[in-house]
Amino acid sequence: MGKISQGILGGLSGKVGNVIGGNWKGIDYLRIKPSSVANPRTEGQVNQRNKFTITLEYLQANKDFIKIGYKAFATKKTEFNAAMSYVLNNAVAGSAPNFTIDYSLALLSRGNLSDPLNPTVDYSNAGTVSFNWTDNSTDGNANATDKSMVLVYNPQKRESIYILDGADRTVGVQDITIPNSYSGDTVHFYISFVSEDGKTVSNSVYLGSGTAA
């Protein structure tokens, strides 16, 4: 908005072309009318909305995990927005209109803490998922007191079951109980570590998918 200090153009009121004049609290002003979008539903715009929608659906189910996992990237933005940006740019697969999330690339935590070593998952027992790993607490910047973070994502139900303060790195196993209603659903598994003070995390590791027992 431009102020008109001496009332040039006679204190223009109304629109001339794409210029609009008016008066606000005794101050004459001019402003440019924004250009209208000729087609607000172009193919590119629709594709971007579709990518945004599937990313939002995925991250909404995992927002508590992300709040810890993206803490280091929450500078002038929320942890959730940092995760949105990362997944949109790195983990959307497929082609229009059938976009999908590449779960192996869709990190739920990002950081430089040492990753889990040799992580595996066992979901053969009904109602329970067992995450296992090898103790590497003497490697890199790992610590014996690092806490495991484990997550089971159910895209069909658009929700996740997780533990954010699990077994220490030295323990090597963390079980998690899942609802009976998950039986027969395809679920996805993630594990990462967070330091005892909650300030540092590892990248999340995707352990694949399976049919819940």
Q: What is the pLDDT of residues 174-195, one digit of tens each?
A: 999 999 999 999 999 999 999 9
Q: Is the distance from CB of 174 to CB of 78 less than 8 angstroms?
A: no
What residues form DSSP beta bridges with 169? none
Angstrom distances, CA of residue 145 to CA of 49, 56, 163, 208: 42, 33, 16, 26
Q: Where are the domains of the chain?
A: 2-32, 43-211
Q: Is the distance from CB of 158 to CB of 61 less than 8 angstroms?
A: yes
The pLDDT score that the predictor gives to residue 42 is 87
The pLDDT score that the predictor gives to residue 44 is 86
* CATH tag for 43-211 (out of 2.60.40.10, 2.40.50.140, 3.40.50.720, 3.20.20.140): 2.60.40.10
Separation of alpha carbons 63 and 69, rounded Å: 9
The pLDDT score that the predictor gives to residue 3 is 47
Separation of alpha carbons 127 and 137, rounded Å: 30
- Four-CA torsion 160, 165, 115, 84, nearest 10 degrees: 40
Q: Is the distance from CB of 142 to CB of 172 less than 8 angstroms?
A: no
Q: What is the pLDDT of residues 116-126, one digit of tens each?
A: 999 999 999 99
Q: What is the pLDDT of residues 17-33, one digit of tens each?
A: 666 767 665 666 556 66
Separation of alpha carbons 181 and 55, rounded Å: 24
Tokens of 206: 């995707």
* Alpha carbon 208 to chain centroid, angstroms: 18
